[in-house]
Structure 1
Amino acid sequence: MKFKKRLWKKVSSIVLVAILAISVTGCGKSVSTSADASNVTVVKVGTGNGMPPFCSLDANGKAVGYDVDVLKEIDNRLADYQFDIQSLDFTTLLVSLDSGALDVVSHQLVKSDVRKTKYLFPDQYYCLSPLSLAVKTDSGIKTLADLKGKSINESPSSYEYSLLTSYNQKTLGNTLKINAVSDLSTADNFKQVANGQVDAALTYQSTYKSVQADLKIDNIKLTDTVLVEDTYIMLAKGQEKLTAAINQALKDMLSDGTLATIAKKNLSEDVFANYTSLIQTTN
């Protein structure tokens, strides 16, 4: 009789544990709120690893920054997709997108004419980025016009290179020398300004503050805003459905204040409130 009681108690305990396990599982967040988990599409997303505060690696090698936080929030809102976010060198991102190794790239990109022929973009930008010039404190340079006959570094693959080239073409008698550079870090670029190798560096204000916090170069400064870029997430051709989904998520994030909150966290300001009227049109 005692054996039967002990057996009954053991069976009851097993059943209770099973019920609790099922209950806990049921209370957890589902992978997809609108579709079975098996129907969730994994999206390979690439972002940078060396452009703070937008996309970089922390001391533990974890991806951090504005772009990363935006991507994670979009992922949370798209029940039918699961983002696999990878941090890569900038030069690797577009090659990976072209080869199919990535589906999406986020690296403060703009809608240049060349890119629009090769890739897809949401209608909604995800960030507004004020650009200034990093110059020597005694240079007297305040605007692009003050760079007449002076030099600046820029990667030929960047939108900024095209922008500066276009500026040269439009201001025939006010040209600046553009040094085509590759694999030059932001920190090394600022060092070249400080030691007089070049006269200025075109840079995001938030990037300047972040890099200068480590460098602490005392003979360079940042000018006022010279232009503002609206930047976009970029997708491979054939990803029309995903592009539309990301576009709607970004519109919702802008209207409900989520993008502003992420900007305040990473960029220390609400760029959407401060710079919307100064957008440098890229469409």
Structure 2
Amino acid sequence: MKLWGEITMNKKMGILGITLAAGFILGGCGTKAASTKSADSNVKTIVVGTSGMPKPFTYADENGKLAGYDIDTVRALDKELKQYKFEFKKTEITSVLAGLDAGRFQIGANNFGYNDERAEKYLYTKPTFQDWFVLVVRNNNQTIKQFADVAGKTTVATPGVNFTMALEKFNKTASTKTKITYSQEDPAKQVQDISSGKYDYALIDKPLFDAYKKEFKLTNLKGLDLSTSDEKKVTPRTPYSYLLVSKTDGGQQLVKDLNKAIVKIQADGTQAKISQKYFGEDYVPGK
């Protein structure tokens, strides 16, 4: 038979054991939480600016969530780069560039092509999309056959993009200027305005035009490929698309990290799947 003192002591020891065990468990949880928090504190938030057009490079889906080739590419890069957390900010295209200028955005994802003016202000990643350009006209148009023929003709264009800058440069030296109407409307609407006869032509990416022609059944339109010399009036380099990176502290390292991840997702087929998803073809650079 146990004496009362023994029973009391055993109970005390039992309670002490439970208390110590609970302490170890809670201590372990606290260590794990602290470790996670410590890891999270080393993750740098990167703000990615995009205008939400042109579709299918960047757009809001039926649920209001950003989607598109550029968006999915950035998300794939985010998965590869554990040291960063990418957050999207949707705004007008001119505000994307202004945000990069001011350092509010660290990345611009908007089907950006290369031009020398931008290269002075921003850092370019490795190319993310193989592009080429066309003049979009109605099938019955017999007056526009090459870039020089846009003189005296009407077009609609988005401010600040390569195509518009090329037309503005053309107007600086042309005796007869092309008539540009500036618009922040979706390029899909701009192409439809060519179809309706509101404007004479549009200068646009061929993959984009092909997607619009199919989606909106624009059977009365055709795309005229630019010659190599005319193509260089739009971009001095091979017509690729890139991500832009702000020239702020950490920009150079961010570009290096992005480039490493771009090589990875292009080599393992991730970006090819994204291209097939949005264009039905493989537009990965170098293919």
The higher radius of gyration belongs to: 2
Tell me the equivalent position of 1:237. Answer: 247
The residue type paired with residue 166 of structure 2 is: L
Residues 13-35 of structure 1: CA distance to partner in whole angstroms, max 9, x if unpaired?
Answer: xx9xx9xxx9xx9xxxx989xx8
Once residues 103 and 259 of structure 2 are traced to their aligned partners in structure 1, the CA distance between those partners, rounded to angstroms, is 21
Q: Given the alignment of the two structures, is residue 118 of structure 1 paired with residue 128 of structure 2, yes or no?
A: no
Q: Given the alignment of the two structures, is residue 84 of structure 1 paired with residue 121 of structure 2, yes or no?
A: no
The residue type paired with residue 261 of structure 1 is: K
The residue type paired with residue 129 of structure 1 is: D
- Return closer, same or farther for 1:235/1:31 CA change in 2, 3 Å cut-off: farther
Residues 43-65 of structure 1: CA distance to partner in whole angstroms, max 9, x if unpaired?
Answer: 11122312111000111111111
Tell me the equivalent position of 1:135. Answer: 137
SS at match of 1:51: coil
Whether the 8 Å CA contact 1:44–1:86 is kept in 2: the answer is yes
Once residues 44 and 70 of structure 1 are traced to their aligned partners in structure 2, the CA distance between those partners, rounded to angstroms, is 15
Whether the 8 Å CA contact 1:31–1:79 is kept in 2: the answer is no
Using the TM superposition, give the Cα deviation of residue 144 of structure 1 relative to its aligned residue in structure 2, in angstroms: 2.5
Gaps of 5+ in 1: 1-10, 278-283
Q: Aligned residues, how many?
A: 252
- Return closer, same or farther for 1:92/1:70 CA change in 2, 3 Å cut-off: same
Gaps of 5+ in 2: 1-17, 232-237
Q: Which of residues 39, 42, 50 in structure 1 aligns to 2:42? A: 39
Once residues 110 and 137 of structure 1 are traced to their aligned partners in structure 2, the CA distance between those partners, rounded to angstroms, is 28
Once residues 281 and 146 of structure 2 are traced to their aligned partners in structure 1, the CA distance between those partners, rounded to angstroms, is 23
- Return closer, same or farther for 1:31/1:185 CA change in 2, 3 Å cut-off: farther
Q: Given the alignment of the two structures, is residue 57 of structure 1 paired with residue 60 of structure 2, yes or no?
A: yes
Percentage of identical aligned residues: 27
- Return closer, same or farther for 1:157/1:37 CA change in 2, 3 Å cut-off: same
The residue type paired with residue 247 of structure 1 is: N
Whether the 8 Å CA contact 1:152–1:176 is kept in 2: the answer is no
Residues 151-177 of structure 1: CA distance to partner in whole angstroms, max 9, x if unpaired?
Answer: 33333422112323455678x68x661
- Return closer, same or farther for 1:87/1:65 CA change in 2, 3 Å cut-off: same
SS at match of 2:130: strand
- Return closer, same or farther for 1:97/1:148 CA change in 2, 3 Å cut-off: closer
TM-score by length of 2: 0.74
Using the TM superposition, give the Cα deviation of residue 86 of structure 1 relative to its aligned residue in structure 2, in angstroms: 2.6
- Return closer, same or farther for 1:176/1:95 CA change in 2, 3 Å cut-off: same
Q: Given the alignment of the two structures, is residue 105 of structure 1 paired with residue 108 of structure 2, yes or no?
A: yes
Once residues 48 and 212 of structure 1 are traced to their aligned partners in structure 2, the CA distance between those partners, rounded to angstroms, is 22
Q: Given the alignment of the two structures, is residue 260 of structure 1 paired with residue 269 of structure 2, yes or no?
A: no
Using the TM superposition, give the Cα deviation of residue 107 of structure 1 relative to its aligned residue in structure 2, in angstroms: 0.6
Aligned counterparts, 1:1-283, within 5 A: 36-122=39-125, 124-140=126-142, 141-166=144-169, 177-224=178-225, 227=231, 229-238=239-248, 239-272=251-284, 276=286
Once residues 130 and 212 of structure 2 are traced to their aligned partners in structure 1, the CA distance between those partners, rounded to angstroms, is 19
Once residues 84 and 190 of structure 1 are traced to their aligned partners in structure 2, the CA distance between those partners, rounded to angstroms, is 31
Once residues 229 and 176 of structure 1 are traced to their aligned partners in structure 2, the CA distance between those partners, rounded to angstroms, is 25
Whether the 8 Å CA contact 2:135–2:202 is kept in 1: the answer is yes
Once residues 84 and 219 of structure 1 are traced to their aligned partners in structure 2, the CA distance between those partners, rounded to angstroms, is 40
SS at match of 1:270: coil
Whether the 8 Å CA contact 1:137–1:220 is kept in 2: the answer is yes
Using the TM superposition, give the Cα deviation of residue 223 of structure 1 relative to its aligned residue in structure 2, in angstroms: 3.2
- Return closer, same or farther for 1:156/1:183 CA change in 2, 3 Å cut-off: closer
